Amino acid sequence: DFLLLFAAGNSGPWPSTIGSQAAAKNVIAVGAGENHPESYADGGAGRSIHNVVDFSSKGPTLDGLFKPTVVAPGDNIMSADSDALPYSFQCSAGMEGATELLSGTSMATPACAGGAALIRQYFENGYFATGAADPASGMIPSAALVTAVLIHSGSPMAYYSPDTYELLPAPATLPHSSQ
């Protein structure tokens, strides 16, 4: 079994903007959620960790699939800063600016991939049987099971209207074309 995750793209908030790889049927398309420091304070300029960030691409796809599959923090993510030397393969560690804030669904996708790896380990180590590690109960989960756990561990998120660009509340029923 193989689980593929693709960044949804940064062409939102308009519908049907999912990138071509992320539009595939059996892959996880990862959208970006807000992650501003003020997102963690009540009412911080309308920002919330419960919002899909405005630039995150969304579905439906051309064949009618609801995408993105999941959303992870993808706005203002602290990332390594390149030293700008193409063959050094180094970050600018030990130098001023070793990290920088980056935004995009490509920042959200690695976080989601890490979550998928933890879910897989949860089943392999047998935690699902008793809540404690039990290697004798361990199993290798299918990609479909890992995907299902990722999807069902989420919650509905507010989103930006492509028409008015205002923040709209999370939809009452899912799936919803806004997400």
**CA triplet 97, 101, 106: central angle to 5 degrees?**
125
Residue 64 main-chain phi, psi, to 5 deg: 90, 10
pLDDT of residue 95: 60
pLDDT of residue 166: 78
Separation between Cα atoms, residue 71 and residue 67, nearest integer Å: 10
pLDDT of residue 157: 85
pLDDT digits (tens, 9 = 90+) for 102-130: 899 999 999 999 999 999 999 999 999 88
SS (H, E, C) the chain: CCCCEEECCCCCCCCCCCCCCCCCCCCEEEEEECCCHHHHCCCCCCCCCCEECCCCCCCCCCCCCCCCCEEEECCCEEEECECCCCCCCCECCCCCCCEEEECCHHHHHHHHHHHHHHHHHHHHCCHHHHCCCCHHHCCCCCHHHHHHHHHHCCCCCEEECCCCCCEECCCCCCCCCCC
* Among candidate residues 100, 90, 153, the one with its CA nearest the CA of residue 122: 153
pLDDT of residue 160: 80
pLDDT of residue 176: 66
The 10 Å Cβ neighbour count of residue 13 is: 21
Separation between Cα atoms, residue 117 and residue 135, nearest integer Å: 17
pLDDT of residue 117: 97
pLDDT of residue 32: 94
Q: pTM for the whole thing?
A: 0.86
pLDDT of residue 24: 94
User: Helices 105-124 & 143-152, crossing angle to 10 degrees?
Assistant: 120
pLDDT digits (tens, 9 = 90+) for 79-98: 887 777 777 777 765 566 67
* Among candidate residues 109, 114, 108, 17, the one with its CA nearest the CA of residue 67: 17
pLDDT of residue 43: 47
Residues of the chain with pLDDT below 70 are 36-47, 92-97, 174-179
